[in-house]
Amino acid sequence: MKMRQNQNILLNKRIAVLGYGSQGRAQALNLKESGCDVVVGLRPGSPSFKKAKKDKILALPIAQALEGADLICFLLPDEFQASVYQKVVGPILKKGMTLVFAHGFSIFFKLIKPPSFVDIILIAPKMPGGQFRKAYISGEDVMACVAIHQNTSGKVQHLALAYSKAIGCSTVLKTTFQEETISNLFGEQTVKCGGVLDLMKASYETLVQAGVSSELAYLECVQGFKCMMDLLVENGFEGMQKLISPIASYGGQSRGPRLINKTVKDELKNILKEIQSGQFATEWLKKSQSVNARVIRKDLRN
Ligand SMILES: NC(=O)c1ccc[n+]([C@@H]2O[C@H](COP(=O)([O-])OP(=O)(O)OC[C@H]3O[C@@H](n4cnc5c(N)ncnc54)[C@H](OP(=O)(O)O)[C@@H]3O)[C@@H](O)[C@H]2O)c1
């Protein structure tokens, strides 16, 4: 279901954006350029103070950034949100404040348990931060998932829609923290950051092992996918088939389903169950505390 918002009640509110990474920088700058009163909250010694200064946006240590804030936006990595909440945010919460998340992880898995007197919303732009910022600059609207977890004030829906519009997402998809968390993690693991990438890599390796040059294999199995994705997103599955050559359409439709056999389908269900049960969240929290867990895939271009 899509809906469009039509009012902005943010202009008298101070927004503290915690974190100045991928989403933090994009949302803070978009909010500021939409006329909002924004302050960025950073940890002591953060290299992002320099970045914020260069961007001409006010950045303060987190505790100071929270002073006078009406909205507190958790744009920190999901695995560190709870510790920042416990140490700095929780103790200063007051009635009338709103907590804003860009992913439902901390709330859905109960890593953060805010008091009942604050409002809690989710605004998750469906685009990585860097591209999201570029879209705002060029005036392109980006869709966001919006959910309301606590509406103590009774007014938080208007606020959520106004926030979404101010960051550059006038079109929103209503969801819940649970649905957003589960679907986002599943999509990342099986399609956007996982399964499809592994299929590309395996396809590339198959061609290279058969003697095809790595440049051509990369073009076919990685680079070429972008053009097909553009066709797919613009035209849908059926529309795309009409726009590619008959041999590509026949080859894809006759061979593609052979890759998605029962084992793969069962594994998709297993991955979903691990997310739903909290098993993946527990595993990730443990892993992220022990190592720098940002997994770097071997770059096929090298
Ligand atoms: N990445 C995306 O495009 C995207 C899209 C939709 C939703 N989201 C959601 O948006 C939220 C933020 O994700 P992100 O990818 O933008 O995160 P990110 O880029 O990894 O965030 C980095 C920022 O968080 C700060 N930070 C890291 N650990 C910290 C700690 N322990 N204490 C205080 N500050 C800390 C960093 O500080 P320093 O500057 O000091 O290093 C930096 O400013 C997450 O909930 C994510 O799921 C992200």
Q: How does residue 97 score in pLDDT terms, banded at 50, 70 and 90?
A: very high
Average pLDDT of the chain, as a whole number: 94
Ligand 1 residue neighbourhood (C-beta within 6 Å): 19-24, 42-43, 46-48, 75-78, 80, 84, 102-103, 124-125, 128-129
The pLDDT assigned to 219 comes to 96
Question: 155-189, pLDDT tens digit by residue?
Answer: 899 999 999 999 999 999 999 999 999 999 999 99
Joined together, the tokens standing for residue 256 give 């593609």
Share of the chain above pLDDT 70, in %: 94
Distance 75 CA to ligand 1 centre (A): 5
pLDDT one-digit tens code per residue, 264-278: 999 999 999 999 999
Atom of ligand 1 nearest to the CA of 23: 16
Alpha-carbon distance of 102 to 211, in angstroms, equals: 45
Concatenated DSSP letters for 131-179? HHHHHHHHT----EEEEEEE-SSS-HHHHHHHHHHHHT--EEEE--HHH
Residue 103 annotated among the catalytic residues of the structure: yes
The pLDDT assigned to 5 comes to 43
Confidence (pLDDT) at 302: 56
Residue 4 has pLDDT above 50, yes or no: no
Q: In the chain, which ranges are E strands?
A: 2-4, 14-18, 37-42, 59-61, 71-74, 98-101, 119-125, 144-150, 171-174
**CA nearest 124: which of 106, 109, 97?**
106
Distance CA 86, CA 204 (A): 46
User: 299 pLDDT exceeds 80?
Assistant: no
Instruction: In whole angstroms, give the CA distance from residue 32 to residue 250.
Output: 50
In the predicted model, is pLDDT for residue 301 greater than 80? no
pTM of the entire predicted model: 0.93
Q: Which amino acid is at 161?
A: L
Segment 131-158 mean pLDDT = 97
Residue 51: CB partners within 8 Å, gap ≥ 6? 20, 25
DSSP assignment letter at 298: P
Per-residue pLDDT at 11: 80
Q: How far apart are the C-alpha atoms of 188 and 184, rounded to whole Å?
A: 6
What would the mean pLDDT of 202-212 be, rounded to a whole number? 98
Which residue from 25, 27, 40, 43 has its CB within 8 A of the most atoms of ligand 1, so it is best to mutate? 43
Residue nearest to atom 41 of ligand 1 (CA): 46
pLDDT value of position 200: 96
Q: For a pocket test of ligand 1, which of 17, 20, 23, 142 has the largest count of ligand atoms closer than 8 A to its C-beta?
A: 23
**Number of residues that this document lists for the chain:** 302
Q: Where are the domains of the chain?
A: 2-175, 187-290
User: Ligand 1, atom 8: nearest CA belongs to which residue?
Assistant: 102
Please determine, for residue 70, whether its predicted confidence score (pLDDT) is greater than 70: yes
Q: Which atom of ligand 1 is nearest to the CA of 129?
A: 3
Residue with CA closest to ligand 1 atom 12: 75
Q: Residue 214 Cα, ligand 1 centroid: separation in angstroms? A: 34
Tokens of 247: 């041999």
pLDDT of 38 higher than 80: yes
pLDDT on residue 6: 44
CA distances from 14 to 39, 44, 72, 208 (A): 8, 22, 9, 55
Ligand 1 centroid – CA 296 distance (Å): 17
Q: Which of 13, 25, 32, 103 is catalytic?
A: 103
- Amino acid identity, residue 134? K
- Which CATH fold would you assign to the domain 2-175? Rossmann fold (3.40.50)
* pLDDT band at 7; cut points 50, 70, 90: low
- Measure 18 CA to ligand 1 centroid, in angstroms: 8
pLDDT tens for each residue of 113-126: 999 999 999 999 99
> How far does the centroid of ligand 1 lie from the alpha carbon of residue 79, in Å?
9
Residue 289 has pLDDT above 50, yes or no: yes
Residue 243: which pLDDT band, with cuts at 50, 70 and 90? very high
Tokens 């869709």 label which residue?
143
Confidence of residue 294 (pLDDT cuts 50, 70, 90): low
